[in-house]
Amino acid sequence: MAMPILDSIASIIIGVILAVTALFLAMECKGLLIGEAASLHVVRRVRNILGEDTQILHINEVLTMHFGPQDILLNISVDFEEDLSADQVETAISRLEKQIKTEFPDIRRLFIEAQSFKAHRA
């Protein structure tokens, strides 16, 4: 014996499930298409790593963007101590890159800019 009401209810439930799934996928794809920032945990920890470095006077800016689920771009602008030589700045940048990439393997591209705080604000 066929019960048309049950067919109707099942169709509505399936439609709602499909609509919710489509909405979820649209939100996820939008974030990846237009560039979603890394999680607050990642940004905070990167700031902590930079803040612990005695050769950095000021963290000017930390910018992140996802290129994929496990592919993050990290751009950092920092003000190093004035009395450091170019070799010392290069060594510090290499050390910071290694430390950050070791802790966060999803950070695949990392750019550190040495810029004074005053120049950054201008």
Segments making up each domain of the chain, as ranges: 1-34, 40-121
β-sheet with 107-114: strand ranges across: 56-68, 71-80, 107-114
> What tens digit of pLDDT does each residue of 47-78 get?
999 999 999 999 999 999 988 778 899 999 99
Distance (Å) of CA 2 to CA 6, 7, 10: 9, 9, 13
The stretches of the chain forming alpha helices (DSSP H) are 4-34, 40-52, 86-103, 117-121
Instruction: Read off the pTM.
Output: 0.70
CATH superfamily of this structure's domain 40-121: Cation efflux protein, cytoplasmic domain (3.30.70.1350)
Spell out a b/e string for 15-36, using b for 16 or more CB atoms within 10 Å of the CB, else e.
Answer: eeeeeeeeeeeeeeeeeeeeeb
> What tens digit of pLDDT does each residue of 4-39 get?
888 889 999 999 999 999 999 988 777 667 777 888
